[in-house]
Amino acid sequence: MPKPTVAGKNPIVLDMEPGTYIWCGCGLSKDQPFCDNAHKGTEYEGTDDAAISVEIDEEGKKPWCACKQTQMRPWCDGTHTKL
C-alpha cells in the first residue's frame, strides 16, 4: 500500500458501542476515523490496508488513530507525536 495520508495529528477518541466498524487506513475518508470508500478509484483501492474491519466487544472510549502511521492499527500508539 502507498504511504497513508495523515488525516489528523491527534487520536480521535470516541465512545463506542459493541459492533463492527470499518476504520479508514488510507487517510482519505471525510468521515474519519471511519471508511467512506474514498479510496475507491485511487492508488489505495484493492489494498488490504485501505479499510480495516474492527470488532468492538465492549462499550467504552477508544483511541482511533488519525495519523494512519500507527503500528497498532487502528488504535493510536502515539506515532503522531513524531510527525
Q: Is 24 in contact with 32 (CB distance < 8 Å)?
A: yes
Q: Is the pLDDT of residue 80 over 80?
A: yes
Q: What is the b/e burial string over 39-68, where b = at least 16 CB atoms within 10 angstroms of the residue's CB?
A: beeeebeeeeebbeebeeeeeeebbbbbbb
Cα 32 from Cα 54, distance rounded (Å): 14
Q: How confident is the model at residue 53 (pLDDT cuts 50, 70, 90)?
A: very high
Please report the pLDDT score of residue 47 as a whole number: 85
Q: Is the pLDDT of residue 38 over 90?
A: yes
